[in-house]
Amino acid sequence: MIHVTDQHMVLTPEKVVVSYRLASLGTRIMAHVIDVLIVAVMVWILAIGAGILLNDIPELQAIFVTLVVAFGIYLYFVLQEGLWGGQTIGKKMMSIRVLMADGTPVTFPAAIYRNLLRFGDFLPGFYLAGFLSMFTNPRSQRIGDIVSGTVVVHEPRNVYAFTPAPHRYGVHRFEENIGDLRKMTLQEYFAIKRLCDRFPELPAQTQTESLRDIWFPFAGRVGIEPIQSVHPLYQMEAVVMKYGRMHKLV
């Protein structure tokens, strides 16, 4: 028997366990209903336009337009999930999002694959199979999620104004406060870089634990003093940018 919980645990490359709360079935249904209503309005508008344009036009052309409409519906989900951080309008309203199973942001190919099977959701037998899959899968994945390696999770309640570190651009304004980094190892560089990249997506508790386990021991060893009223993330960015340029890693 498969044990299903509401938590999805991920071990990051920094050896930190990150916990995500899996989106509940009811929340996912509500998000899907919102998206379906939006899509229905789009189809209604397109159908009215097609009815006007296809008056006295052969049936094959009507079928062609129907396929174009279906492709547009598919793009609604793919483009939003692939370009909007794993969220559609419905998911955004319900505070859930799609992630890769390893906790990283959903990739565009994954958004394509998980939505290839979405049209099957409108078929009674396939829809039932999707429900059964979510109830029996430990990650509460529907069939499209299993194929694409994705999960749907609740958004953290706290929102942080952090952005991924701009490793390739310019000179960070805090570089003068971090020393020469001669004691820094390549392994430490990759660990801190990964933490910078993932930091905005981590829950608050995991952010605190990652700083405690990764950044503060490193900063103490190489002699980097904290800057008053400056979050450690910005010092980490400065370290990554400076070390990366020194060793031609960016």
Copy the structure tokens of residue 104. Answer: 């990283």
Domains of the chain, residue spans: 7-154, 175-246
Average pLDDT over residues 84-99: 91
pLDDT at residue number 157? 58
160-169 tens-digit pLDDT: 455 555 555 5
176-188 tens-digit pLDDT: 888 889 889 988 9
Q: DSSP assignment, residue 95?
A: T
133-156 tens-digit pLDDT: 677 777 878 888 888 889 999 886
Cα separations in angstroms, 240 against 46, 160, 171, 198, 200: 50, 21, 11, 14, 16
Strands (E) in the chain, as ranges, are 7-11, 17-21, 96-100, 150-154
For CA atoms 120, 6, 164, 187, the dihedral sign is negative
Q: Is the model's pTM score more than 0.85?
A: no
